[in-house]
């Protein structure tokens, strides 16, 4: 089957409302022309959101870098013994947000590590303080690994833990921790056994009780195309059940200063074609089930963020002010104010739409 015939068959499946299977997805990764994929992905996106591209005025707040999981792909974590290990107090969290709030912040993404010194009361205190001081800012907080640890330490179910955090102010849960869901890949990356099923269980629990979340995938390490196919299908299947995912983002791994690099397993980051291929395939596979595909500009730069939009994404993500996780790899991302995002979207002939944490329109530019 030549590429054009293959893409035509994929498009017909989509038009008939059929889901793509493993073979379809692996073919797209391994053999399909990336530009053909991009054209189909963009066509789907235009049916969903036209020429509008959303973004959020956001800060990423890394409240601690102490973590006892110690993933091989992470350069950010500290054991707690290092000179640069830290944990913010709730008041310090408030002061950090206050620095950027005048810029029109609508979302705070609060994540750190699985810090064994912190318990449920700490997070309740943090979220209550944020909600009191900044009632119009949505809290997009904690990875599934953090929620799992908080739950176990409090001896509470996932449902009860998420409910208590929601009552304290947590609005949505980010997709961090998904990486690649297949067990063998996760264990090789240093994730605990069973953590993929745990990610899905916590996300499903959140969706069932009405808490929206995001979904992610980290590629460009030791995974194969079939692993990415399994991952996308798992996300799609859960989305069809509750429609609880607000967005999907595929991140390419940054290898510098990680254990994977030190062990010689991974030396280089993904190239541009791999980035846009993952964007296009995620749009095609998730289709109309999950309307928002983010551009993952943070690990790839503004120009690649623009390319991602051309290849099927319809959300830029957020502004960045002093994010700490990616810089731990040695890659400097700097700050990205909304004026740059607006200009970057307009340069593509698209309409920038500022949104809030729940993807509701704040302003059309």
Write out the binding residues for (3R)-3-methyl-D-ornithine: 143, 296
Give the separation between CA 108 and CA 317, rounded to whole angstroms: 12
Question: What 3-state class would DSSP assign to 140?
Answer: strand
Binding residue ranges for [4Fe-4S] cluster: 67, 71, 74
Q: Quote the distance between the C-alpha of residue 107 and its chain's center.
A: 14
Binding residue ranges: 67, 71, 73-74, 143, 179, 296
Question: Could you tell me the two tokens for 143?
Answer: 């990875």
* Residue 245, beta-bridge partner list: 213
220 Ramachandran zone, left/alpha/beta (phi>0; psi -120 to 50):
left
Strand 351-355 and strand 361-364: pairing?
Answer: antiparallel
Burial of residue 106, with CB atoms counted within 10 A of its CB: 0-12 exposed, 13-18 middle, 19 or more buried: buried
Q: Is the dihedral of CA 235, 172, 147, 208 positive or negative?
A: negative
| Residue 251, CA atoms < 13 Å, CB-side half-sphere | 20
In whole angstroms, how far apart are CA 183 and each of 188, 239, 277? 9, 21, 24
In whole angstroms, how far apart are CA 181 and each of 74, 200, 234, 285? 17, 9, 8, 16
Binding residue ranges for S-adenosyl-L-methionine: 73, 179
Give the separation between CA 185 and CA 208, rounded to whole angstroms: 28
Question: Could you tell me the two tokens for 213?
Answer: 């979340």
Asked if residue 174 lies in contact with residue 109, where contact means CB atoms within 8 angstroms, the answer is yes
Question: Could you tell me the two tokens for 333?
Answer: 């991302």
């Amino acid at each position: 089957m030549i590429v054009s015939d293959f893409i035509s068959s994929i498009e017909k499946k989509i038009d008939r409302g059929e889901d793509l299977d493993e073979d379809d997805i692996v073919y797209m990764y391994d053999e399909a022309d990336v530009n053909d994929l991009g054209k189909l992905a963009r066509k789907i996106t235009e049916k969903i959101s036209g020429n509008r591209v959303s973004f959020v005025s956001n800060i990423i707040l890394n409240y601690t870098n102490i973590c006892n999981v110690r993933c091989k792909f992470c350069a950010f974590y500290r054991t707690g013994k290092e000179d640069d290990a830290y944990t913010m107090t709730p008041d310090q969290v408030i002061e950090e947000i206050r620095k950027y709030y005048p810029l029109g912040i609508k979302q705070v993404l609060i994540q750190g590590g699985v810090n064994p010194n912190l318990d449920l009361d700490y997070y309740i205190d943090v979220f209550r303080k944020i909600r009191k001081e900044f009632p119009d800012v949505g809290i997009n907080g904690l990875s599934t690994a953090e929620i799992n640890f908080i739950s176990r330490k409090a001896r509470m179910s996932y449902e009860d833990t998420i409910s208590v955090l929601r009552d304290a102010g947590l609005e949505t849960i980010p997709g961090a921790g998904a990486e690649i869901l297949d067990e063998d890949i996760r264990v090789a990356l240093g994730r605990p056994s069973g953590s993929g099923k745990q990610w899905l269980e916590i996300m499903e629990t959140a969706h069932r009780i009405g808490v929206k979340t995001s979904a992610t995938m980290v590629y460009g390490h030791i995974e194969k195309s079939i692993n990415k196919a399994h991952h996308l299908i798992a996300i799609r299947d859960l989305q069809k059940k509750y429609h609880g995912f607000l967005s999907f983002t595929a991140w390419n791994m940054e290898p510098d200063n990680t254990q994977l690099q030190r062990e010689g397993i991974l030396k280089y980051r993904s190239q541009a074609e791999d980035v846009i291929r993952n964007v296009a395939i995620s749009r095609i596979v998730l289709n109309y089930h999950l309307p928002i595909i983010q551009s993952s500009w943070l690990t790839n730069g503004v120009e690649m963020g623009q390319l991602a939009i051309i290849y099927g994404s319809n959300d830029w993500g957020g502004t960045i002010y002093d994010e700490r996780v990616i810089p731990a790899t040695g890659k400097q991302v700097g700050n990205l104010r909304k004026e740059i995002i607006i200009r970057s979207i307009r340069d593509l002939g698209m309409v920038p739409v500022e949104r809030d944490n729940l993807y509701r329109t704040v302003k059309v530019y």
